[in-house]
Structure formats: C-alpha cells, structure tokens
Amino acid sequence: MFEYPVCEQSFREALRIAVRAGGFSALVVVGMAVMGVAILYAILYVWFGVDSTGTMKATDLPLLLVGYGFGASFVALFAQLGGGIFTKAADVGADLVGKVEQGIPEDDPRNPAVIADLVGDNVGDCAARGADLFESIAAEIISAMILGGTMAQRCKIEDPSGFILFPLVVHSFDLVISSVGIFSIRNKRDSGVIGTIEDPMKTLEKGYSVTIFLAVLTFGLSTRWLLYTEQAPTAWLNFALCGLVGIVTAYVFVWISKYYTDYKYEPVRTLALASSTGHGTNIIAGVSLGLESTALPVLVISLAIVSAFWLGRTSGLTDEAGNPTGGLFGTAVATMGMLSTAAYVLTMDMFGPIADNAGGIVEMSQQPESVREITDVLDAVGNTTKATTKGFAIGSAALASFLLFSAYMDEVAAFAQEPFKQVDIAIPEVFVGGLLGSMLIFLFSAWACAAVGRTAQEVVNEVRRQFIERPGIMDYKEKPDYGRCVSIVASASLKEMIKPGALAIISPTVVGVLFRILGYYTGHPLLGAKVVASMLMFATVSGILMALFLNTAGGAWDNAKKYIETGALGGKGSDTHKAAVTGDTVGDPFKDTAGPSLHVLIKMLATITLVMAPIFL
C-alpha cells in the first residue's frame, strides 16, 4: 500500500484517467486491425464471386491478404525504429546533461531537451507500440486464416468458413472483454484508512484477471460455435484447450517480465545494490540479468508450441489418407488465445507513457510536490507495465512467426507443386542461410543502438551549448530553445532508420534470388526457397533471444534507478544513483529502440518471405 499527503480521490481519478485514455487508444488499434482484415476479406469474397460463380474458393482468399500483413509490418518497423530513435536520443541527451551534469530534476523546464523527451514518449511508446501490436494482430489473423483454410481443405470439410473466420471472431470478442476489464478498474481506499491507497499495479492486475476470465469463456464459446464439425465432434474441445494454452502463456509471460523488471523483486534490487559499487558493476549486473531472463520465456514458448501442436494433432481431424492435420492450426489457435487479451495488454503499455508525460507536465508547470508524488508512483508502475507488455509482445511475435513460417512452407509447396516440409541445415548453402539470418539480427540491433548513440551525442552537445551560451537558463531568466532539440531528434530519427530498415527489407529478397540462381546452375531448383527458410528460422530464434535480453535488461536498469530514487541506497544525487543513471542510459536504446524493433523485424521477415516466395522458385 502507498501513503500520500494528498486526497486519495485525486490519486484514484488520475489512475482512472490514465487507464481510460490508454484503453481508448488500445481499443482503436485492435478495432482497426480487425476491421481492416474483415473488410478486405468481404470485398475479395464478393469480387471473386466465391460460392456463386466459383472463380475462387473461400480457402484461397486468405492468401490474398498477405499483402495487408506486409504493409502493417513495413509501417510498424519504421514506426518502432524511428520512434525509438527519437524518444531515446532525447531521453539520453536530457538525462546526461540535465540530471548528471547540471543536477536538475528529471523533466525540469530548464532542460532544453525536455520537450523532445516528452514528445518522444508519445512517438516511441504509444504510436510505435500501437503499430507493433496492430501488426501482430493482423499477421496472426491472416496466418491463422490461411492455416485454418488449408486444414479445412485437406480434411474436405464442407463449410470451411468457421475455420477461416474464427480469428476475426476471437479478436472481436477481445474488444468487448478488454473494455469490460478497463472499466472494471477502481482504485479503492485500503480499509478506510485516510491517505492509504491500493497499489495501482494490483489494480491493473485485477482488471487483467477479469479480462483473462472473460477471454476463457468467450474463447470456449467461439470454438464450439465455429470449429465444430461432424467429422470430428470433439475437435472443438481440443482447440479450446489450445486457446487456453495461449491464454496461460500470455499470463506467465507477463508475470516473468514483471519479476525481472519490477523493483519489488530480487533481480532489480540486486541490480540496484550493484550500483553502490560503481558504474561498471551496474553494467555487468544488468547484462547478466538480461541474459538470464531469456531462459524462462524460452521454456514457456517451447512448452506452449509443443502442447498446442499435439492438442491440435490429436483433435481427430484427418486428411483423405488418414493423416492428422490439426497440429499447425492448434498452434495458430494458441496464438489467438495469447492475443485474445491484446487490447487490455496494450492499455497497460500505453498507461506508462501517459503517466510519464503527466509527470513531465507537472514538473514543467511547477505544480506542488504532492501532485508530483502521485505522478511519480504512476510513472513507476508504468515502467513495469511497459516492460511486462514487451515480454507479451515478443512471446506473441514468436508464436506468430512460427505460424508465418509454416504458411511460407505451404506456399512454396503449392507453387513448386512438390512437398516442402523440412529444411535440412546439413546442406552447406542452407546452413549459410541460417548464419546470415542470425547475423542480420545482431547487425540490425547494432545499427539501431548506434543510431540512438549518434543522435544523443548531438542532443548532448546542443544542451551543453545552450547552458553555456545562456547562463540565465538556470535562474529562469532565459528560456531554453526547446525547438532546436526537437528538430535534431526528428530529423535524425528519419535519417538514421533508413539503414537498418533497408537491411531488414532487402536482405531476405537478395539472399533468396542469389541462391535461386545458384540452385538453377547446380541442379537444385528449390535451393533459394530452402536457404530463405533457413534464414527465417535462425533469424526468428536469434531475434526472440536478443529481444528478450534487450527488453529485460533495459527495463531492469530503468527500475533499478527508480528504486534508488525512492530513497533506497542513498537516494537521488548519491554516487549509487549516478551509477544507476548510467545503467538506465545504456538500457534506453536496448528496451525502447532495438528490442521492440526486433519484435516487428522477425514478423516482417516472415511476411516478406511469404510475399516474395514465388520469386525464390
């Protein structure tokens, strides 16, 4: 529980406003993704005369929607990458000069980079994360529609519409149940004691629990309604269990991320303690924490994929030869389950930058300290929610990428008119493709972090220049030139995102075409497709691990600093705090630029290969 010297009603109202604002934005994002796919599918259904003229089967239509997923991935990558460069360059520049060199508070109006920092919260954390989850939902819906239609066709199901439209129905329910979860949030007084307020993180978790409970009910209803078939009367129950696997996976991912990034738990407190012995030990502890944090999520993802696959495989659905066909679709249903609460999870994510911006406005307008105390607590909770939702995002990206990889193999088999069910990495060219995929992840991450570093250097130099040339800034006699810092980070983010973005887009296409040519001359017609498949496989695995490391290490560094700022281990201004600020500075491009961009990168690689598959043959 928290105690405040202000009216608890003010705190409850601030929490409610932040959650409702984030919730509205999240519902719009999810609603646009669902409506976009639904409208396009309906247009194509009518345009090609499905079930009337018979020019195209309903099961073929989802393949035409792949371009929608590619467009979403393309925009999301540049939104996340550019937004991350913008916000973290401004944040790092503001902190290094303002907090470390000048010793002024965070978001102090005397800091010339403060406006750029506040704008960056919206650009990098709200808009970019919204684009990320929009792309996740769009890619997952389309890949699940493809796999559902393919399975229905193989099983000779008379009416495949239920299996194709199931993802759209699940995410339509997401809008409803997440709305209920958002409006269920009420921060209550603790035992009637004046000045004591329930932990806002617990309040958000209660809303998440309500959403998960409703997700289980609506998911079971949806599977019985749309996935029931006479050929396998109990198959819908297996798929309902697949959805439950996904829902549980989402909850566990949120909990794991919270454990490694919330300063209530041992890992972040140990990291804060390491700051007491200097900057170097802080960095070492943060890196080791980030590396360790990859273990549990990988175990959870592995268990989820295998469990969902076998639940689908044993559903009773078989092809004409009697072979079970529901495995991949079971994994798709698990992914839908994981994303069935996406709107509420995105609400928790957007809560963070809203609270952060509110604190900045309070500091800049020089409100009473009691008001800042409220926003500081909300901001600390927001740091944790942002970190936990990044774990959720990378988990959903891993499952969605697996689906897209399977869809790619099915598409290659369809175009090549021969089986394509496995990738043999013992073939030298295929192994090289895997190495190139892993290298792509590391090179992309390096360029993203370097972009933040270069831009932050420009901001630091500009802020230093203003403090030297305008000494009256510190006494409030002169006004800083905020616009100059905004201009620096805006132009730099547009310029710096070109190189890593081009690397992500061009690499798989170039590799596929080159090895296709090599395969033509060596008598291996599918060599290009196999090498690209290997590249995609290794890039996905490397990207998941790298994103987990970057996101968790960055979030832990940030909250270790917040923990010290509560008064622990010397509090603000101490040597321990300065070491923690250094760690937070290192972690900023990790958790808000490179890490989140990798979520999008691995899905975009999958959609690019899916779109470009015909030119690899």
Phi-psi domain of 480 (left: phi exceeds 0; alpha: psi -120 through 50; beta: other):
beta
How large a percentage of the chain has pLDDT more than 90? 15
The answer to whether 139 and 69 are in contact (CB under 8 A) is: yes
How large a percentage of the chain has pLDDT more than 70? 94
Q: What is the pLDDT of residue 6?
A: 42
Predicted TM-score (pTM) of this structure: 0.85
65 pLDDT band, cuts 50/70/90, is confident
Per DSSP, 339 falls in state G
Which tokens go with 249? 């996976």
Q: At what angle do helices 595-612 and 498-522 cross, to 10 degrees?
A: 40
Tell the residue number behind the tokens 């209803």, with chain if given.
221
The three state secondary structure string of 429-449 is HHHHHHHHHHHHHHHHHHHHH
3-state secondary structure of 70: helix
Distances from the Cα of 409 to the Cα of 83, 305, 403, 422, 506, angstroms: 33, 18, 10, 8, 20
Residues 44, 142: Cα–Cα separation, whole Å: 14
* Choice between 512 and 186, residue whose per-residue pLDDT is larger: 512
Q: What is the pLDDT of residue 342?
A: 84
User: Is the pLDDT score of 491 beyond 50?
Assistant: yes
* Choice between 175 and 84, residue whose per-residue pLDDT is larger: 175
Q: What is the pLDDT of residue 197?
A: 57
54 pLDDT band, cuts 50/70/90, is low
321 pLDDT band, cuts 50/70/90, is confident
User: Is the pLDDT score of 224 beyond 80?
Assistant: yes
- The mean pLDDT value of the chain amounts to 82
* Choice between 193 and 333, residue whose per-residue pLDDT is larger: 333
The mean pLDDT value for 24-34 works out to 85
Nearest CA to 136 out of 596, 558, 547 is that of 596
Residues 270, 328: Cα–Cα separation, whole Å: 42
Residues 306, 586: Cα–Cα separation, whole Å: 36
Residues 299, 284: Cα–Cα separation, whole Å: 25
User: Is the pLDDT score of 193 beyond 70?
Assistant: no
User: Is the pLDDT score of 189 beyond 60?
Assistant: no
- Range of 45-59, 363-377, 562-576 with top mean pLDDT: 562-576
Run of H or E residues at 25: helix 8-47
The answer to whether 87 and 125 are in contact (CB under 8 A) is: yes
User: Is the pLDDT score of 1 beyond 50?
Assistant: no
The mean pLDDT value for 379-396 works out to 75
* Choice between 353 and 259, residue whose per-residue pLDDT is larger: 259
- Range of 139-148, 354-363, 408-417, 427-436 with top mean pLDDT: 427-436
- Range of 62-66, 184-188, 230-234, 375-379 with top mean pLDDT: 230-234
User: Is the pLDDT score of 92 beyond 60?
Assistant: yes
Strands (DSSP E) found in 441-585: none
